[in-house]
Structure 1
Amino acid sequence: MKMFEYMGKEIFAEFGLPVPKGRMVSNPDDAAQVAKEIGSAVVIKSQVLSGKRGKAGGIKFAENPEEARAAAQELFGMTIQGLPVNILLVEEKLQIDKELYLSITIDGTAKKPVFIASSHGGMDIEEVAEEYIVKQHIDVELGMQGFIANEIVRRMGIGLKSPQGKELVSIIKTLYKVFTQKDAELVEINPLVISGDKVIAADSKVTIDDEALYRQVDLPRVEERTKTEKAAHDLGLAFVELDGDIGVMANGAGITMGTLDTLTHFGGKPANFLDAGGGTGEEGTAKALELILSRNPKSIIINIFGGITRCDDVARAFASVKKKVGIPVPVVIRLVGTNQEAGRAILKEVGIEAYDFMQDAIKETVKLAYA
């Protein structure tokens, strides 16, 4: 479960981590009131479960309450990465002398928590050279000991005897407590700001392990799925909205990922990830198609390798949707496996010739989308 930035900062404050003064608001008047209470310049941040808010225009600055109200009014009308802005975080604008990066997550290969740190934090952390990234695996039996935190700070190039270095050691040790005590999958601060002698968490990203939520009864529950994704989940389908324009349906997580990758390779932009799963019958397949059509794609690729999934069921569902509600965009189908010939015969009746190979089907899909 992903948490909004303001929620992550509330957790940080609970553990004694330094965060800017501020609070969450849900209307422009409250934004102005918080700015008045702070009494100095403020930053107003859209609260959506998405990165790159700054580049999307989802973060604004204000020098006084009236500017804060106007900026909030503008932000409330925005959509970022397909997500509407319904709440904002208004907090003091920090003096930024340097931006650092800290996070802790699970390394699945090593089967250990791994601390990741850099003295080059900020908006483009993904582009920081490997030589500036510090990685330190943590033995869960040993935990985050002082000498480990010292070593991380030393490798970051921050003086251990400086006020900032001492504060950073304390923050690293506390961040590990947040990670373990809140059953987190990820705890990230980017940027962690050096402001004079102070070190302050200017941002937060916290993701809680869904399987441990029963232990975290005090944490608020956040619904991170879009309306369409929730509808798909209720139907037992794995569906994720993407920002492209070609609808995708396949039967299995692996083949769906392969379809997305191949589509991108040939110049297509997927509008969604939809794994209809093994054994999805006619009704489930029909509903999956309706979900794809709700995204208004330019074309659709259906990639079925039938094992448990029967090709004739998929074909029958497609033919039913086409006859009942119509499909206003080109559809390309790759159909091989169980009951393949029966499925292809059904498709032929509605004017579709199925492909044998995924690459050929995807090339045609891209061609039809952008013709």
Structure 2
Amino acid sequence: MDLLEYQAKQLFQQVDIPVLPSQSISHPKELKNLLIPYPIVLKSQVLASGRAKFGGVKFVENTIDAIAAAQYIFNLQIEGEYPEVILAEARYDAENELFLAIMLDYTLKKPVLLGSSCGGIHIDTLLENLQTCVIEDTFSPFYARRLVKQMGLSGNSIASVSKIFEKMYHLFIEYDLDAIEINPLGVNNNGEVMALDGKIRINDYALNRHPKLLASFTQENINNSSPSFKLLKIDESSNLAVISDSVDVGIFTLNGLLNKGQKTNSYYVISSENKENQEESLNNIFADIFNNEQIKVVLINIINQWNLAEFFVEKIKQFYPLEIITKLPRSEDRADRATGLRLFDNKNQVKRQSFPTVRKVHWILRSISAKDSIDPTQLTGLPCELINDFESSIEIISSIN
């Protein structure tokens, strides 16, 4: 699981890696009550690289400029990703910028320290000056000092930068990280340092060992998510999506899946407090799932307040009406369509309404009260299974994968 910059800096603070005063912003109007003195920098909180190059980093001098810049950043797509949060941060004048990182080398099966005396956005220059140091056995400050000297640093910078490496390594081991990076680490003329940007990747299989960490960032990401439904993107390589009607149930589900080696692509939570808004939320969730071609399996694990399971069954029926599943061969008199297919009744070939978002997704529905409220015959012919226990859902997911 990759953390956003502001989340990584929260972990930095736990081990006293210095970071600037900052405030996360979920709407431009929040800048009217900003607690940080100007001038500030506004940074798009997305996982994509090259934020500054694409315009996702803005320096501003006052509130009016900050609101205008925030509105621009919130509507700026960077590599297909829009920010749900912007980080407002104090300005810092660095005399030098460094690159520091620790990564797990899966070939060597050992951590590797990486450092460059040329940090920042100029990647070619950074790589030309990159130094590495493999941690052969137990970590020692010796490794950090040796790498810092290889980077060409001198004076007070040797001690201060070495200390940052030690603190980064503590986080690396404490939270089972795949990678931790500070780029840039600002250094002033007194040798004092400041983490100006940071990235952290937590090993997915280790998340179950850190439930408080997962719960913290899951809840935070969900709170800053879409108003119609709450979404947490976790691992884009996975083909599994999870839907729940409770954050607690969702965290239990994600941890349970991780314990069995199952990664999750996306987690959706739908509020069960307002029955009137549920259908709109479900429409948006289904649209988001169908728009993500990576998702092949959806686990719906719900408490089932307001008979929410019935909503899901009806919604699945809307997308998979039994009489329109067959796709006919292309013929000369058939006009091109955006989706490339037309849907027909199997018996009389009468043209039916087309559903451009229809594609095969396997749905697994588990609910505390679903067994009592849903007749299994309602699911006949649909790509949906009704199950009673969580272990069975994991077995089904494993068999599909």
The question of a shared fold, defined as TM-score above 0.5 by the shorter chain, is answered with yes
- Residue by residue, what CA displacement relative to the aligned partner does 1:57-113 show, whole Å, maximum 9, x if unpaired? 111011122222221122122221111122100010110211100011111221101
103, 106, 115: which is aligned to 1:105? Answer: 103
Question: Are 1:87 and 2:85 an aligned pair?
Answer: yes
Supply the distance in 2 between the matched residues of 1:148 and 1:173 (Cα, whole angstroms): 9
Paired residues, what number? 253
Shift of residue 232, structure 1, vs aligned partner = 4.8
- Contact kept, 8 Å, 1:239 with 1:273, in 2: the verdict is no
Matches within 5 A, 1:112-151: 112-126=110-124, 128-130=126-128, 132-139=129-136, 141-143=137-139, 145-151=140-146
1:186: which partner in 2? 179
153, 157, 169: which is aligned to 1:164? Answer: 157
Helix, strand or coil for the counterpart of 1:84? coil
1:349: which partner in 2? none
Helix, strand or coil for the counterpart of 1:31? helix
Q: Root-mean-square deviation (CA), in Å?
A: 3.6
Supply the distance in 1 between the matched residues of 2:241 and 2:47 (Cα, whole angstroms): 21
Give the residue type in structure 1 aligned to 2:195: A
Unaligned runs of 5+ in 2: 222-231, 243-261, 267-290, 297-324, 342-401
1:199: which partner in 2? 193
- Contact kept, 8 Å, 2:241 with 2:295, in 1: the verdict is no
Give the residue type in structure 1 aligned to 2:240: H
Shift of residue 138, structure 1, vs aligned partner = 0.9
Give the residue type in structure 2 aligned to 1:56: F
Helix, strand or coil for the counterpart of 1:218? helix
1:53: which partner in 2? 51
- Residue by residue, what CA displacement relative to the aligned partner does 1:327-350 show, whole Å, maximum 9, x if unpaired? 64789xxxxxxxxxxxxxxxxxxx
Give the residue type in structure 2 aligned to 1:63: E
Identity value in percent = 31
- Residue by residue, what CA displacement relative to the aligned partner does 1:128-149 show, whole Å, maximum 9, x if unpaired? 344x11111113x411x12111
Give the residue type in structure 1 aligned to 2:118: H
2:169: which partner in 1? 176
Supply the distance in 2 between the matched residues of 1:237 and 1:213 (Cα, whole angstroms): 10
Give the residue type in structure 2 aligned to 1:49: L
User: Structure 1 length as normaliser, TM-score?
Assistant: 0.60
Give the residue type in structure 2 aligned to 1:137: V
Supply the distance in 2 between the matched residues of 1:111 and 1:230 (Cα, whole angstroms): 22
* C-alpha spacing 1:185/1:321, structure 2 compared with 1 (3 Å): farther
Question: Are 1:8 and 2:8 an aligned pair?
Answer: yes
2:374: which partner in 1? none
Supply the distance in 2 between the matched residues of 1:203 and 1:121 (Cα, whole angstroms): 11
Helix, strand or coil for the counterpart of 1:128? helix
1:73: which partner in 2? 71
Question: Are 1:224 and 2:229 an aligned pair?
Answer: no
1:18: which partner in 2? 18
- Contact kept, 8 Å, 1:237 with 1:274, in 2: the verdict is no
User: Structure 2 length as normaliser, TM-score?
Assistant: 0.56
Helix, strand or coil for the counterpart of 2:54? coil
- Contact kept, 8 Å, 1:185 with 1:207, in 2: the verdict is yes
Supply the distance in 2 between the matched residues of 1:12 and 1:167 (Cα, whole angstroms): 15
Supply the distance in 1 between the matched residues of 2:328 and 2:15 (Cα, whole angstroms): 57
Unaligned runs of 5+ in 1: 241-270, 277-316, 332-371
- Contact kept, 8 Å, 2:116 with 2:131, in 1: the verdict is yes
Shift of residue 174, structure 1, vs aligned partner = 0.6
Matches within 5 A, 1:356-367: none
1:233: which partner in 2? 240
Helix, strand or coil for the counterpart of 1:38? coil
Shift of residue 29, structure 1, vs aligned partner = 2.5
